[in-house]
């Protein structure tokens, strides 16, 4: 209970800091919503009039206070450039980015766990060495560049998908998901490579432990030692990495959505920043921050479920 | 030899570490035998090859070392000819092993009960209920009180002495013919040490379990074993009845080893005359 309260406290403080810093950033960068809405042709008087109307001339703390008050009551405000409630704008974009994140994360789990175990079991032998070289390459190339390479190979040469031909979820659910596999893989590759490396070294470290010798002495075969004894212990450091990975996927999806022209939250965030449309940008940033904190909270709970030593301390 | 009394026979055993060139021989032509129901002690300093000898019986040596010569006969069967699968049946079934560090020898994320039961799930076809019943019996026999309650606990919730008792319960649950105990009392304090030694004696008396007891501590060996093997630098220096070795050591090395342990009679005499 105390733990829950502590976590909720952290959540609130983090969201306040994140939103205030983002708010501050909008005030520091040149240009504002009124100018971007009216365009370069508008006169200074017109701009100033709109600024007053939008409340942009008020002190920053007053503006932030007003945003916060509305936010607490569930009102994310209205977009300056789209003239519609921010929530309505986000509502359509969330499923797209969420699906992209889920696909990436699923690919990371699907590939990194078996490969991590596989390489650890063959430490120093040729399959391990070959995979470690590939791993190093996958890790050092950034996600967006993988995106370009994947588009080139699977889109333009092999024609497994049509680059840029995004399929909305309302049109075809299958088409929507299969279009997201390529960008999902682009985000997943570098993180997956890191996951393999972390799990591999974690498994190898566990294999040296005394309890593994006990397990063999009891008559366990190699498979059983790995899956019943070693893996649960070896997953602990990897779990923290996965938690951080989810945050990283969301951040990466902002760029990848540009590469694959996916109309998700990333694309919306970039447009709203260039339009100085702070209600939209702030809505997205706070949403992402909330999501990242929630995932970390989930990781903490999972950690306790796997490791009984932590459960007691809580 | 074929009279069926022999439990374990080690003949001219050699063990090498491969990570040096040329490979370093750490056990050099060690031979000994044990009868059924016997408690045999192996004593020596660290690096004398006693642990390697013990681990080699179940072929549990680390990958950087291996048996380079000799024979290990268990109940007249040559374990050297066993495949890995066949050995898995022997490990924890007919031959069980307990180790020096009870703190780290148990898996931290599995309950005590599931670790004790594991031998039964690997070596028998008993039902889950029967396995639990036997695990709890083994725990009680190993001197663990409130066994039902402890069954659900995790290793970190137990003291060092309790953990070693859990290790013993897990080793004995399958009723093995031979228990290899590699310095099982070294990490424990003196009172607990004495209790564990009594427990091992009791198990030996009750079930006729042969015990190969490895220790650097001559005093501990003397309390438990009838025969002892003194090892030094990978060789057997001296072997024989414990009392004979203690009272009339043949080798200089054994004499030095004996001189190193605080002798109660000696210290009493010194106190009286001093």
Range A101-108 average pLDDT: 94
Q: Does B91 touch chain A (CB under 8 A)?
A: yes
CATH number of the structural domain spanning residue B216 = 3.40.50.300
Over residues A138-162, the pLDDT tens digits come to: 999 988 888 889 888 988 888 888 8
Whether pLDDT at B9 is above 90: yes
Considering the domain architecture, whether residues B123 and B158 belong to the same structural domain is answered as: yes
- pLDDT for position A306: 85
- pLDDT for position B269: 59
What is this model's ipTM? 0.90
Tell me the pLDDT band of A101, cut-offs 50, 70 and 90: very high
Long-range contacts of A28-31 (CB under 8 A, 24+ apart): A29/A276, A31/A276
Whether pLDDT at A216 is above 90: yes
Range B208-229 average pLDDT: 92
A184 found inside a domain: yes
Whether pLDDT at B274 is above 70: no
Give the closest of B84, B89, B156 to A309, CB-based: B156
Considering the domain architecture, whether residues B22 and B71 belong to the same structural domain is answered as: yes
Q: Which of B150, B175, B200 is the last residue of a domain?
A: B175
Please tell me the least confidently modeled range out of A159-173, A183-197, B145-159.
A159-173
- pLDDT for position B131: 96
Q: Supply the pTM of this predicted model.
A: 0.83
- Which residues of chain B neighbour A306 with C-beta distances below 8 Å? 109
CATH number of the structural domain spanning residue A235 = 1.10.3720.10
CA distance A150 to A260: 10
Q: Is beta strand B39-43 parallel, antiparallel or unpaired with respect to B6-17?
A: unpaired
- pLDDT for position B2: 45
Q: Do B101 and A307 touch (CB under 8 A)?
A: no
- pLDDT for position A107: 94
Tell me the pLDDT band of B4, cut-offs 50, 70 and 90: low
Whether pLDDT at A34 is above 60: yes
Q: Do A214 and B110 touch (CB under 8 A)?
A: no
A148 found inside a domain: yes
Whether pLDDT at A286 is above 50: yes
Total number of domains in chain A: 1
Segments forming the whole domain that contains residue B163: 102-175
Please tell me the least confidently modeled range out of A221-225, B3-7, B64-68, B207-211.
B3-7
Q: What is the 3-state secondary structure (H, E, C) of A57-100?
A: CCCHHHHHHHHHHHHHCCCCCECCCCCCEHHHHHHHHHHHHHHH
B1 found inside a domain: no
Segments forming the whole domain that contains residue A196: 93-276+292-313
B164 found inside a domain: yes
Chain B residue with Cα closest to A305: B109
Range A183-191 average pLDDT: 92
Q: Does B85 touch chain A (CB under 8 A)?
A: yes
């Amino acid at each position: 209970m105390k733990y829950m309260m502590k976590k909720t406290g952290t959540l609130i403080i983090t969201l306040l800091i994140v939103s205030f810093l983002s708010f501050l950033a909008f005030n520091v960068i040149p240009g504002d919503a009124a100018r971007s809405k009216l365009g370069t042709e508008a006169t200074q008087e017109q701009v100033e009039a709109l600024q007053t109307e939008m409340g942009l001339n008020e002190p920053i703390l007053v503006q932030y206070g007003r945003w916060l008050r509305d936010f607490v009551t569930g009102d994310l405000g209205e977009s300056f450039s789209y003239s519609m409630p921010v929530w309505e704008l986000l509502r359509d974009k969330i499923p797209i980015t969420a699906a992209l994140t889920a696909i990436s994360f699923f690919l990371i789990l699907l590939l990194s766990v078996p490969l991590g175990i596989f390489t650890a079991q063959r430490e120093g032998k040729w399959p391990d060495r070959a995979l470690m070289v590939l791993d190093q390459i996958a890790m050092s190339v950034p996600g967006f560049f993988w995106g370009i390479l994947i588009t080139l190979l699977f889109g333009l040469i092999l024609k497994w998908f049509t680059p840029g031909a995004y399929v909305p979820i309302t049109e075809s659910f299958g088409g929507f998901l299969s279009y997201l596999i390529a960008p999902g893989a682009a985000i997943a590759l570098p993180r997956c490579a890191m996951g393999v490396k972390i799990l591999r070294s974690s498994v190898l470290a566990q294999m040296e432990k005394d309890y593994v010798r006990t397990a063999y002495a009891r008559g366990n075969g190699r498979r059983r030692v790995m899956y019943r004894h070693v893996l649960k212990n070896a997953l602990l450091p990897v779990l923290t990495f996965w938690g951080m990975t989810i945050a990283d996927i969301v951040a990466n999806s902002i760029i990848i959505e540009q590469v694959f022209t996916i109309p998700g939250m990333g694309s919306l965030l970039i447009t709203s920043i260039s339009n100085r449309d702070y209600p939209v940008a702030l809505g997205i940033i706070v949403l992402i921050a909330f999501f990242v904190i929630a995932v970390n909270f989930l990781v903490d709970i999972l950690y306790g479920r796997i490791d009984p030593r932590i459960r007691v301390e809580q | 030899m074929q009279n069926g009394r022999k439990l374990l026979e080690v003949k001219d055993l050699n063990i090498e570490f491969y990570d040096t060139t040329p490979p370093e021989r750490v056990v050099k032509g060690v031979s000994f035998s044990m009868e059924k129901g016997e408690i045999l002690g192996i004593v020596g300093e660290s690096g004398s090859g006693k642990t390697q000898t013990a681990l080699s019986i179940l072929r549990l040596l680390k990958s950087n070392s291996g048996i380079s010569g000799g024979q290990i006969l268990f109940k007249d069967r040559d374990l050297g000819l066993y495949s890995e699968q066949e050995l898995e049946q022997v490990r924890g079934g007919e031959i069980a092993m307990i180790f020096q560090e009870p703190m780290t020898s148990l898996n931290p994320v599995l309950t005590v009960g599931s670790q004790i039961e594991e031998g039964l799930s690997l070596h028998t076809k008993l039902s889950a209920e029967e396995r639990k019943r036997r695990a709890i019996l083994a725990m009680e026999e190993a001197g663990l009180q409130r066994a039902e309650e402890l069954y659900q606990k995790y290793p970190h919730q137990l003291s060092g002495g309790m953990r070693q008792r859990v290790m013993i319960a897990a080793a004995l649950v399958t009723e093995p013919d031979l228990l290899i105990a590699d310095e099982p009392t070294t990490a424990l304090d003196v009172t607990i040490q004495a209790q564990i030694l009594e427990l091992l004696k009791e198990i030996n008396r009750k079930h006729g379990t042969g015990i190969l007891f490895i220790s650097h501590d001559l005093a501990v060996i003397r309390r438990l074993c009838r025969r002892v093997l003194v090892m030094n630098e990978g060789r057997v220096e001296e072997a024989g009845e414990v009392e004979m070795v203690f009272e009339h050591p043949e080798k200089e090395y054994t004499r030095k080893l004996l001189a190193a342990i605080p002798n109660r009679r000696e210290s009493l005499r010194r106190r009286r005359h001093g």
